[in-house]
Chains A and B, each alone.
Chain A
Amino acid sequence: MSIISNLWEKFAKSKKYREEFVAAQAKRGIPFQARALLKARRGWTQQTLAEKSGLTQGVVSRALNPNYGNLTLNTIVRIAAGFDVAFIGMFVPFSELERWFQNMSEESVQVATFEEENARRQSQTFAEGAGLAFSRIWKSVTRELSRRQVATEGLQSEIGAMRGIRAAKAACESEYEPEFASLDGLHQASAGSGRGAAALAATQ
């Protein structure tokens, strides 16, 4: 097996290599991540992590050493508690191991603490809640606007109809104005004489 063969070729070539690679990952992967997490926490020392984990500095030092190789599950869980992150050990297919390994870097193994995640989730919940409230308000506003628009259109059509009536009335009045004027004259003339009354009767 050549040094330059890619990892999958090595996996495919030898079951023994696969087994040993899994063992190397178990031995070195956790110390690598723990060192990267510790580096990312400015001002933290092994002693800080030891205090937060409830371990001694010596145990933490060994846990960070990739060559130590005797890390217990209890120590791993205590260190997870010290960083306030979760730990899941699980069986995975080799393709997942390959993907994880090829992306392995101090940056890719960083994880948020519970506090960071919780703050993010709360602000997300607030944003979602605010969005929902806004959406509800917007719906009621648009509903009200639409109702008012309908009412306005009704009012406008009523006003239009009234204007039509008024215009018809004005046209009617102007058309029959001479007749009305003559009738008025006859009324006035007939007010004091029988002849007038007879004339009025004759016109009707």
Chain B
Amino acid sequence: MDYHTPAGINLINEWYESQAEKIQAEFDFVIQEILGTVDLTDSELFKPMIRQHSGLWEIVLEVHEARRKRQIRPIGFWDYGERDFILVDGCEKAGRFTIPPGVFDNASNLLGLFFHEGRGTVNEHHI
């Protein structure tokens, strides 16, 4: 499932489309892993975010390139009471920064809009 902003923008899709095939392929694979996993509570696939980004979860994706490991992070949140993980956006982590910058903050804002004000929409799709 993915989140569309109140302005109708599908950020995760925009992020996906801008990625190289290698990242797209790994992302598609990890989504199926998530769908095929019964109990995700102690899964290595996800990490909850903390402090100001609490409520968001990141999918841990390490993509190996010739001389480095790229830390790719699709971001989303759980639709509480449901078993659905809603993808919001994606980025690459480089030390303390993200590429593009501010992705986590923006996703936190969207999370607040969705849960507190009911703004934005969630769309289901099959990969």
Could you tell me which A residues sit within 8 Å of B by CB distance?
1-4, 6-7, 10, 14, 16-17, 19-21, 23-25, 27-29, 32, 35, 39, 64-67, 69, 101-102, 104-108
**Chain A's interface: helix, strand, loop or mixed, by majority?**
helix
Residues in chain B within 8 A of chain A (CB atoms): 2, 10, 12-13, 16-17, 21-22, 24-26, 28-30, 32-33, 35-39, 44-45, 60-62, 64, 125-127
Contact among B12, B29, B39, B45 with A21 in the assembled complex (CB-CB below 8 Å): B29
Inter-chain contact B44/A1, CB cutoff 8 Å: no
| Nearest chain A residue, comparing its CB with the CB of B87 | A3
A64 CA / B38 CA spacing, docked (Å): 17
Q: A28-B30, A101-B32, A106-B37 are in contact. Are A67 and B60 (CB under 8 A)?
A: yes
Tell whether, in the assembled complex, residue B30 and residue A3 are in contact, meaning their CB atoms are under 8 Å apart: no
Is B28 a contact of A7 with CB atoms below 8 Å? yes
Could you tell me if A17 and B45 are in contact, using CB atoms closer than 8 angstroms? no
Whether the Cβ atoms of A6 and B28 lie closer than 8 Å is no
Contacts of A7 in B (CB 8 A): 28, 127
Give CA–CA (A64, B44) in the complex, Å: 9
Residue of A nearest to B90 (CB): A3
The CA of A3 and the CA of B30, in the complex, are separated in Å by 13
